[in-house]
Structure 1
Amino acid sequence: MGAPVVSGSVAAGRSTKDAIREAALQLFSTKGFDHSSLREVADAVGITKASLYYHYASKVDLLIAIIEPMFDELRAQVDGLDELEHTPENVRRMIRERLRSTLANRHVGALCMRDTVAIVNALGNRYPDLIELHHRTCRWLAGPGADADTLLRAAAAMQVLSTAMISPEIVPGTDTAQVEETLLDAALGVLYPAR
């Protein structure tokens, strides 16, 4: 079977770099990073492989261009926690913001979940920074002076949010607002269990 066609040629109003990233994301998501070629990406966009190399020097560079905006957004969200007072309202707001970000990037997130080894290899020395962002988020969610149980609940609540990445496979056709509300309630239920 041939590569999925994203546009056949670069559409007006959309940059070649954007078209390449979209085609690559679609291919990497359906075939996997290792089983997709730059030739297939170029064909899906309707450009030559040489033209693709003008924009991205390698398949790893292309993968980084796909995933880095999501990680930059995550970094900005986590850095913003330093200024945010730990209150139940702010916890709910932060979880909702993270959930909306995850839903908006769910195709990239699903790729990250499926091709974890390729992602870790592509990120190289940036991967520990990503792990630290996750730990900072969990510590903030747990609150000042949190005990081990609360820290574990905070980490589990974050795992609930990752379900957004695979929600199209679990509940295809479900309204995004419903997915958001269900996962928000689930994450808060894990974080603040009824006693």
Structure 2
Amino acid sequence: MSTTRRAGSETRTEILRVALELFTERGFEGTSIRDLAEALGMTKSSLYYHFAGKEAIIQALLASRRAEVEDLLEWLGTQEPGPDLLRRAALRWIDSTGPERILGMRFAHANGPTMSRLAAQGGNIRGWFDEVVGRILGPDAPMPSRLRARMAFDTVSAALFAAQGQPASEADILAAARAATIALTA
């Protein structure tokens, strides 16, 4: 097996990218450390140097998503409240969605049991948006308004579901999500 030398941060980034692809394609349970090492062109011991195992890789991926939500919360703290804040925030979230986040959503769709287990351990990505919605609408907003707000942030995931079996590109998915968010926040 030939191995490739990369800088430490580059190696971690590449491990996360390849792991996400394999976990989505083969399933979390169906992908072994050996599979990851082979796909990366490295030894298992090199992979273990960077991550203690598959669970640690998933935790790093979740930390990245959590950081994105924290960035959104930080941005919300700089915004003037108003009737258009939900739309601006949800569109900002969609506009910041790149291939890695879309792949992460595909992973979540393909690995329901793993996502349920992670949610029980504090990795509930959807639950993280409770704070976002609370900041936008306030603590006393009625439940239908809160649900509609959560839906506005979940349109990329909904568009991914709708695109299954369709020749839709990522641009098509994001365009549909954007249009749905605008409709939900009208």
TM-score, scaled relative to structure 1: 0.75
2:101 pairs with 1:111: no
Identify the match of residue 162 of structure 1 among 141, 157, 164: 157
Structure 1 match to 2:180 = 186
Deviation (angstroms), 1:162:
2.3
CA contact (8 A) 2:62 2:123 kept: no
Structure 1 match to 2:49 = 54
Deviation (angstroms), 1:108:
1.3
CA contact (8 A) 1:78 1:133 kept: no
Deviation (angstroms), 1:166:
4.8
Please, which moves more after superposition, 157-166 or 37-46?
157-166
Match runs of 1:17-166 below 5 Å: 17-104=12-99, 105-122=101-118, 125-127=121-123, 130-142=125-137, 146-166=141-161
Deviation (angstroms), 1:143:
5.6
Structure 1 residues without counterparts, runs of 5 or longer = 1-7
Structure 2 residues without counterparts, runs of 5 or longer = none
TM-score, scaled relative to structure 2: 0.78
Structure 2 match to 1:4 = none
Q: Secondary structure, in 3 states, of the residue corresponding to 1:34? A: coil
Sequence identity (%): 23
Partner Cα separation in structure 2 for residue 11 and residue 108 of structure 1 = 26
Please, which moves more after superposition, 148-157 or 20-29?
148-157
Deviations 1:58-83 (A, max 9, x none): 11011222332122111221243233
Aligned residues: 183
Partner Cα separation in structure 2 for residue 126 and residue 100 of structure 1 = 26
One-letter code aligned to 1:156:
M
One-letter code aligned to 1:29:
T
Considering Cα pairs closer than 8 Å and 6+ residues apart, tell me whether 1 or 2 has the greater RCO.
2
CA contact (8 A) 2:91 2:181 kept: no
